[in-house]
């Protein structure tokens, strides 16, 4: 998990989910040392977000309303609990009283400029389409790997029940195995971006296993806030 001490109060627009969220997950308050506000969008189920109209206008309006509630409650920066919401970045940013970054995918242009070829790890590879990459400003041929072939993490999140426990060691093994699959298919990669906001607990293990820099929504929030904070300082 990245060091989030620099971050102020973070507002998270949450999908309606029920699976376990260990520290480091975007939905666990411990991830932000308690400096976190949450707004659950009740109609934003995983099935609707992943399987329906990606730019569903009703959901877009609900996400904007959640953003405004978070800002009114004191959030200094707003993000979301799902990287595929990159498709709503422009709508969420428009008229926002605070900085907004909807997805870790938005850092892809920066990471590509820094490292060259960059891969993406998602919970489900089919969930990251050329439209998502275009919305992030990334090439359509950006390599993507998912965890759908794993034994633990994908299964638990798809079950979406508090009664289905998560084994952190098996989940970590899934992430590392997916990383190796990504590198085997694309041996020229120089960095990895974790699209899914449930993956930061395993970022350090993945970096150790692959020897590559690994970035996620937490590292990206640190950067976005640092830049917004610096821009707000008097000249």
Mean predicted confidence (pLDDT) in 135-153: 96
pTM for this entry: 0.94
User: Domains in the chain and their CATH numbers?
Assistant: 10-103+218-232 (3.40.50.1860), 105-216 (3.40.50.1860)
Q: Find, among 115, 68, 107, 98, the residue nearest to 7 by Cα.
A: 98
Does the pLDDT value for residue 2 go beyond 80? no
How many CB atoms within 10 Å of residue 117?
16
Bigger pLDDT: 56 vs 133: 133
Q: CA 185, CA 215: separation in Å to the nearest integer?
A: 20
pLDDT band (50, 70, 90) for residue 54? low
- Report the length, in residues, of the chain: 235
Strands (E), the chain: 10-16, 36-45, 77-80, 118-122, 144-146, 191-194, 214-215
DSSP string spanning 23-89?
BTBTT-GGGGTT-EEEEEEEEEEHHHHHHS-TT-HHHHHHHHHHHHHHHHHT-SEEEES-GGGGGGH
For tokens 């004191």, name the residue. 74
Q: For residue range 4-43, what is the model confidence (pLDDT) as tens digits? A: 556 789 999 999 999 999 999 999 999 998 899 999 999 9
Does the pLDDT value for residue 235 go beyond 50? no
């Amino acid at each position: 998990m990245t060091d989030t001490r620099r971050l102020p109060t973070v507002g998270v627009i949450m999908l309606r989910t029920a699976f376990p969220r260990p520290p480091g997950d975007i939905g666990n308050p411990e991830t932000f040392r308690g400096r976190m506000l949450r707004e659950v969008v009740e109609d934003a189920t995983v099935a609707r977000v992943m399987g329906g109209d990606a730019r569903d206008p009703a959901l877009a309006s609900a996400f904007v309303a959640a953003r405004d509630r978070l800002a009114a409650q004191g959030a200094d920066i707003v993000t979301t609990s799902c990287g595929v919401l990159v498709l709503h970045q422009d709508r969420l940013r428009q008229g926002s009283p605070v900085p907004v970054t909807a997805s870790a995918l938005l850092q892809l242009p920066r990471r590509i400029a820094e490292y060259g070829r960059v891969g993406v790890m998602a919970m489900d590879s089919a969930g990251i389409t050329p439209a998502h990459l275009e919305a992030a400003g990334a090439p359509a041929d950006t390599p993507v790997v998912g965890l759908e072939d794993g034994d633990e993490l994908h299964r638990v999140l798809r079950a979406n029940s508090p009664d289905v426990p998560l084994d952190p060691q098996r989940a970590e093994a899934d992430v590392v195995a997916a990383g190796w699959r990504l590198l085997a298919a694309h041996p020229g990669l120089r960095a990895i971006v974790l699209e899914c906001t449930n993956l930061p607990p395993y970022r350090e293990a993945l970096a150790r296993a692959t020897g590559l820099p690994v970035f996620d929504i937490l590292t990206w929030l640190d950067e976005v806030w640092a830049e917004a904070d610096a821009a707000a300082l008097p000249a």
